[in-house]
């Protein structure tokens, strides 16, 4: 395969090194389509039921990647049979198809994966947007939709449009203990915003890297998802070796750093020593200000944990803040440790006891309040969380005010009952060091059966709420449809397809979950979409960065089920754009002027859709209601054009498999 970049004798960055070692086709020029061989794929239960149903629908009897893991961490409330049925489906599907199964209670996928499997130099895909957590050990870990994961597990290469690689150059040292890795990523979000990373991979480097432990690096790469970045990655160095040795996996280590003279599309400089304790205000992770500027704000709820801040060291630091004190009256403190391993260490060393004595409500090792699975704040309450997202309504309470801050800052707020600069709070904290050995207990990680015997004798168990994957008809040549909704910038997938304890149980049942599409923005959306379905279907109009946030393909699949034909937006977030294409919905880009003219209720017609798609000259759209025409473009590559033509990735993959 030709690789223009490698033919020129220049130093390589880490991203190029990893990608080059995995290239199946294409080249590393930014903007080119690149096919990659993937080492690891993991799923979580909220996206995983669909991913495994799709894998089953492709018709392959065993995964064709070196490592596949199916985690259960999101849908843990089990208020009826549905969640538990999904867990049983996932357990039996993993046994049948050759994946590890991480039992409910084992922890949040990203934290467990970091502890057990993430390795420098590898490429991993995960059906969750925070998969980049693995970048903390020097792995290129990318969040994708379930169908992309299913096709890769079935043996297809993973195709990406080569992103631009940005260097984040770190120098200096964090002013510990009150300034943490969480403050670093909040500072980057403050500077770059939630769309600052779209089309980019963030590669960390510089002398400041060695100041950060792997778990701190993982906090930064985890929340790099909020920049909209494809992924983020750190070098693999002595601290990586220390972490992997403590995790019992020193043989997974390799040295990985950028060559001298490596080139980057851009560079951002950060002096770790100048960062102060920061906080993101409602309702976006980039609304970041110094904590000091909000001092005195009353706090009703504090949540500590999630995949962003779940390491043993983090929990130990929090325990040392809480030890011997009592959570303020009127504050609810909830703690969800990231993994069983962390939780067991906390229990054995008395850290959990210190938290309980202080009044913390200890939750299980799962996503919990982060995704509105319990722990919703009261009406209009202020909740400060060490999590990664504070989108409106995501907590389960529409009018809650959710802030994001570091775990130790959160612990101080819980004691004080208000936001306070932790450095001036008078609260003491012990310095925490990385352990030389983690307590390794793999009892909740069921390995796949040997390839020889395979899963042939295993029966996959599907409860009554688990429904077939819906498939769209091939792309229409004339799309005439009504604008059902016109939205602003940065619409999240939580806006499109809400989560929370009411909705998540329907993740395996698209007809049922489709009733909740856009529910928090427009209660009548699904009924209006159903009505429009018989009359050509619907169109949604969005602003910049449409579909930011989660990887949930339900935000494309359920609208597709409701008859959505196209989304017209000023720009799209990466994973959601792929999900739209995978489910046959046309993502079209329109200019700010044309965006300004369209109104909800307008009837639009796009003629010669197929021709326009392949000719690459753009689409002409007529606004029948207002009587004018305008242009829109699609930036689909050849593969994407072909698969959207057939109605999406599932029909396309089946057709390819039939041919092969």
Q: Scan for tokens 């867990």, then name that residue.
A: 87
> Considering CB distances under 5 to 8 angstroms, the limit depending on partner class, which of ligand SF4, ligand MIC, none binds residue 304?
none
Q: Which of 58, 82, 93, 371 binds ligand MIC (CB under 6 A)?
A: 371
Q: Which does 306 bind (CB under 5 to 8 A by kind): ligand SF4, ligand MIC, none?
A: ligand SF4
Which among 30-38, 366-374, 518-526, 602-610 is the span making contact with ligand SF4, rule CB under 6 A? 366-374
From the list ligand SF4, ligand MIC, none, which binds 68 (C-beta under 5 to 8 Å, kind-based)? none
Nearer to ligand MIC, 228 or 536 (CB): 228
CB-nearer residue toward ligand SF4: 119 or 367: 367
User: Would you tell me how many other CB atoms lie within 10 Å of the CB of residue 72?
Assistant: 26
Strands 278-280 and 288-290: antiparallel
| Nearest one of 139, 157, 145, 148 to 232, comparing CA atoms | 139
Q: How far is the CB of 555 from ligand MIC (least distance, A)?
A: 8
One-letter-per-residue 3-state SS of 215-266: HHHHHHHHHHHHHCECEEECCECHHHHHHHHHCCCHHHCCCECCCCCCCCCE
DSSP letters spanning 308-333? TS--HHHHHHHHHHHTT--PPTT-EE
Angstrom distance (rounded) from CA 308 to CA 133: 8
Rounded least distance, CB 381 to ligand MIC, Å: 21
User: Using the rule CB under 6 A, which residue among 28, 218, 227, 367 binds ligand SF4?
Assistant: 367
Of 118-137, which residues contact ligand SF4 (CB under 6 A)?
128, 130
Q: Which residues are catalytic?
A: 73-74, 128, 389, 550, 552
Stretch that binds ligand SF4, among 175-183, 260-268, 363-371, 649-657 (CB under 6 A): 363-371
Asked if 376 touches ligand MIC (CB under 6 A), the answer is no
Q: For residues 52 and 89, what is the distance between their CA atoms, to the nearest angstrom?
A: 9
Length of the chain: 660
Q: How far is the CB of 551 from ligand MIC (least distance, A)?
A: 4
Q: Is 492 in the site for ligand MIC (CB under 6 A)?
A: no
Omega prior to 283 cis, within 30 of 0: yes
State whether residue 564 is helix, strand or coil: strand
Distance, in Å, from the CA atom of 82 to the CA atom of 78, rounded to the nearest integer, reads: 7
Cβ neighbours of residue 239 under 8 Å, at least 6 residues apart?
210, 212, 213, 214
Give least dist CB 413 to ligand SF4, A: 20
Q: Does 370 bind ligand SF4 (CB under 6 A)?
A: yes
Strand, coil or helix: 158: strand
Q: Is 46 in the site for ligand MIC (CB under 6 A)?
A: yes
**Applying CB under 6 A, does 12 fall inside the site for ligand SF4?**
no
Q: Which is nearer to ligand MIC, 130 or 200 (CB)?
A: 130
Instruction: CB nearer to ligand SF4: give 74 or 554.
Output: 74
Tell me: cis bond preceding 177? Omega within 30 of 0 counts: yes
- Give the DSSP H/E element, type plus range, for residue 34: strand 33-36
Q: Measured from the CB atom, is 114 or 370 closer to ligand SF4?
A: 370
371 binding ligand SF4? (CB under 6 A)? yes
Measured at the CA of 219, the angle between CA 502 and CA 384, to 5 degrees, comes to 50
* Closest distance of CB 374 from ligand MIC, Å: 14
306 binds ligand SF4 (CB under 6 A): yes
Q: Which does 552 bind (CB under 5 to 8 A by kind): ligand MIC, ligand SF4, none?
A: ligand MIC
In the complex, minimum distance from the CB of residue 562 to ligand MIC, in angstroms, rounded to a whole number: 18
Number of residues that bind ligand MIC (CB under 6 A): 13
| CA dihedral sign of residues 496, 499, 503, 505 | positive
Beta bridge mates, 25: 35
**Contact assessment for residue 195 and residue 490, using Cβ atoms and an 8 Å cutoff:** yes
> Residue 47: which of ligand MIC, ligand SF4, none does it interact with, CB under 5 to 8 A by kind?
ligand MIC
- Residue 422's binding partner among ligand SF4, ligand MIC, none (Cβ under 5 to 8 angstroms by kind) is none
Q: Near ligand SF4 by CB under 6 A, which window of 20-28, 342-350, 367-375, 513-521?
A: 367-375
Can you read off the two tokens belonging to residue 239?
């601290």
Three-state SS letters, 184-213:
HHHHHHHHHCCCCCECEEEEEECHHHHHCC
Residue span 537-566 as binding mask against ligand MIC, x where in contact by CB under 6 A, dash where not: ------------xxxx--------------
Report 99-138 residues binding ligand MIC (CB under 6 A): 128-130
CA angle 325, 340, 371 (to 5 degrees): 80
Chain contacts with ligand MIC (rule: CB under 6 A)? 46-47, 74, 128-130, 143, 371, 499, 549-552
Chain contacts with ligand SF4 (rule: CB under 6 A)? 74, 108, 128, 130, 306-307, 367, 370-371, 387-388
């Amino acid at each position: 395969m030709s690789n223009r970049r490698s033919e020129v004798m220049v130093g390589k960055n880490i991203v190029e090194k990893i990608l080059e070692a995995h290239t199946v086709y294409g080249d590393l020029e930014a903007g080119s389509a690149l096919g990659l061989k993937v080492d690891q794929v993991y799923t979580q239960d909220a996206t995983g039921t669909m991913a495994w149903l799709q894998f089953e629908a492709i018709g392959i009897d065993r995964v064709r990647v070196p490592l596949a893991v199916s985690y259960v961490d999101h849908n843990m409330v089990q208020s009826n049979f549905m969640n538990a049925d999904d867990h049983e489906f996932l357990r039996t599907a993993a046994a049948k198809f050759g994946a590890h199964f991480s039992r409910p209670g084992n922890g949040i996928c990203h934290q467990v994966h970091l502890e057990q499997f993430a390795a420098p130099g590898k490429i991993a895909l995960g059906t969750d947007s925070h998969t980049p957590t693995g970048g903390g050990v020097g792995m290129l870990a990318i969040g994708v939709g379930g169908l992309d994961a299913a096709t890769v597990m079935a043996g297809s290469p993973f195709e990406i449009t080569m992103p631009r690689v940005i260097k984040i150059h770190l120098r200096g040292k964090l002013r510990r203990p009150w300034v943490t890795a969480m403050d670093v990523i909040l500072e980057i979000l403050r500077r770059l915003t939630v769309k600052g990373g779209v089309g980019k991979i963030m590669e960390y480097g510089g002398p400041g890297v060695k100041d950060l432990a792997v778990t701190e690096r993982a906090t930064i790469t985890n929340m790099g998802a909020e920049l909209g970045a494809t992924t983020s990655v750190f070098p693999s160095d002595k601290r990586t070796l220390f972490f992997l040795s403590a995790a019992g996996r020193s043989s997974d280590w390799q040295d990985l750093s950028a060559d001298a003279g490596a080139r980057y599309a851009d560079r951002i400089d950060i002096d770790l020593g100048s960062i102060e304790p920061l906080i993101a205000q409602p309702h976006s992770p980039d609304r970041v200000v110094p904590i000091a500027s909000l001092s005195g704000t009353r706090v009703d709820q504090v949540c500590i944990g999630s995949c962003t801040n779940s390491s043993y060291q983090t929990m130990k630091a929090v325990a040392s803040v809480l030890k011997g004190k009592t959570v303020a009256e009127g504050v609810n403190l909830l703690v969800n440790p990231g993994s069983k391993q962390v939780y067991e260490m906390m229990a054995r060393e008395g850290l959990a006891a210190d938290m309980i004595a202080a009044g913390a409500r200890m939750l299980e090792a799962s996503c919990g309040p982060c995704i509105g699975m319990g722990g919703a704040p009261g009406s209009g309450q202020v909740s400060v969380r060490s999590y990664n997202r504070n989108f409106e309504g995501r907590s389960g309470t529409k009018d809650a005010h959710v802030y994001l801050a570091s775990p130790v800052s959160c612990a101080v707020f819980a004691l004080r009952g208000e936001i306070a600069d932790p450095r001036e709070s008078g609260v003491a904290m012990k310095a925490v060091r990385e352990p030389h050995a983690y307590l390794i207990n793999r009892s909740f990680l069921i390995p796949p059966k040997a390839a020889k015997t395979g899963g042939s004798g295993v029966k996959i168990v599907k409860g009554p709420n688990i429904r077939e994957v819906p498939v769209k008809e091939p792309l229409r040549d004339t799309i005439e449809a009504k604008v059902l909704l016109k939205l602003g910038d940065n619409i999240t997938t939580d806006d499109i397809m809400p989560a929370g304890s009411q909705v998540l149980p329907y993740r395996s049942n698209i007809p049922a979950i489709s009733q909740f599409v856009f529910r928090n923005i427009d209660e009548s959306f699904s009924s209006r979409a159903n009505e429009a379905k018989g009359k050509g279907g619907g169109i949604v109009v969005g602003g910049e960065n449409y579909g930011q946030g989660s990887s949930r393909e339900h935000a494309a699949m359920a609208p597709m089920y409701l008859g959505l034909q196209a989304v017209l937006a000023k720009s799209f977030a990466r994973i959601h754009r792929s999900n739209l294409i995978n489910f046959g919905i046309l993502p079209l880009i329109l200019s700010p002027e044309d965006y300004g003219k369209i109104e909800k209720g307008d009837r639009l017609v796009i003629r010669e859709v197929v021709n326009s798609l392949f000719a690459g000259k753009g689409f002409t759209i007529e606004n029948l209601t207002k009587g004018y025409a305008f242009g829109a473009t699609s930036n689909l590559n050849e593969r994407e054009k072909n698969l959207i033509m057939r109605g999406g990735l599932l029909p396309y993959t089946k057709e390819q498999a039939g041919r092969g």
